[in-house]
Amino acid sequence: MDAAPEAKRNSFPSMNFEAEILTTPHDNSELYTTIPSMRSLTAEEYVEAFKTFLDHSTEHQCMDEFNKEQLPNIMSGLGHGKSTINVLGVGSGTGEQDLKMIRILQAVHPGVLIDNEIVEPNPQHVAAYKELVNQAPDLQNVSFIWHQLTSSEYEQQVKEKGTHKKFDFIHMIQMLYRVEDIPNTIKFFHSCLDLHGKLLIIILSDSSGWASLWKKYRDCLPSTDSGHYITSSGITDVLKRLGVEYRVYEFPSGWDITECFVEGDAVGGLMMDFLTGTKDFLGTAPPALRQRLREALCQPECSSTKDGRIIFSNNLSMIVVES
């Protein structure tokens, strides 16, 4: 290192966010104190952190409200008398939400065959989804095809084959944060809709704490967080440019992050890993960064307090796009 002996330097040279701190030693030899490397979550670590998020948030309950209040009416216009309705789930995860929507589709269109295709890159999620289907006795009229691919890999495969299967219903639930090119991803999957088809995009609302965190306190998040910071207005801007018709439904949701503020709490640690996309954030981040992020999370535009608990706003936007 080329620093002078009297210098004190913090350097964050790469996406690994490895901090090297050079301090002045008591003798004249150089002394290095290295903070352990910060790194992004692996697929397996993400699954574990995400489960902690789901266990302490009302995300799925919020989606259930949408399914109950709006989805039957949205689905009633699908298929237009066809004997088979084609469904595509993009980034479907472990399948719980997919199967809830499939059952609503069955109720709205009794006796109709449902051809359900799934694009999901995480092998653990695919295995869990298949197990869920195996345990379900009420899916006789539904066929399942899994593509263990990212959305961009699926797009590439479709374009290479030159055959463009059309779908009556496509859903992209909480997954656009991880795609490389959001506008072109939306454009491609919209092009996969059949006549009278609908595309459902579920994304964080502009009114969520995430939106405030990403816009106002971005400096509190480490560079190991590799996702896109996008909320509903970013999606509707894309849809406006595409010139397509859409409707937005807003639903409130909360995430109890109280444990994030309890030193040494394992659940709180996993929550912070999910929030930052970083493995062992509390153990590897510089103390000043940890402090700044915790302070940001407590701001009124991010969280509220209820019965002594800290509830982070996780409000969702359900965007229904016409073909």
Express each pLDDT in 221-230 by its tens digit: 877 666 778 9
Radius of gyration of the chain (CA): 23
* CATH superfamily placement of domain 57-254+311-322: Vaccinia Virus protein VP39 (3.40.50.150)
Domain boundaries, the chain: 1-37, 57-254+311-322, 258-309
> For residue 321, what pLDDT band results from cuts at 50, 70 and 90?
very high
Enter the tokens of residue 296: 């940001």
Q: Provide the pLDDT confidence category of residue 36 given band limits of 50, 70 and 90.
A: low
Higher pLDDT, 28 or 286: 286
| Average confidence (pLDDT) over 314-321 | 97
Question: Alpha carbon of 217 to those of 211, 212, 276: distances in Å?
Answer: 10, 7, 12
**The pLDDT value given to residue 15:** 31
Read off the tokens for 174.
């909480």
Q: Is 314 annotated as a binding residue?
A: yes
Q: pLDDT-derived band of residue 60, with 50, 70 and 90 as boundaries?
A: very high
pLDDT in tens, 69-89: 999 999 999 988 899 999 999
Instruction: Rank 24-33, 92-101, 175-184 by mean pLDDT and report only the highest.
Output: 92-101
State the chain's maximal CA–CA distance in angstroms: 84
Distance CA 116, CA 128 (A): 16
The answer to the question of whether 20 is labelled as a binding residue is: no
Residues forming beta bridges with residue 147, ordered by sequence position: 119
What is the distance between the alpha carbons of residues 49 and 33, in angstroms, rounded to a whole number? 29
DSSP string for 91-154: S-TTSHHHHHHHHHHHHHSTT-EEEEEEE---HHHHHHHHHHHHT-TT-TTEEEEEE-S-HHHH
Q: For residue 138, which of 118, 114, 120, 117 has the smallest C-alpha distance? A: 114
pTM: 0.83
The mean pLDDT value of the chain amounts to 86
In this prediction, residues 175-193 reach a mean pLDDT of 94
**Local confidence band at 180 (pLDDT 50, 70, 90 cut-offs):** confident
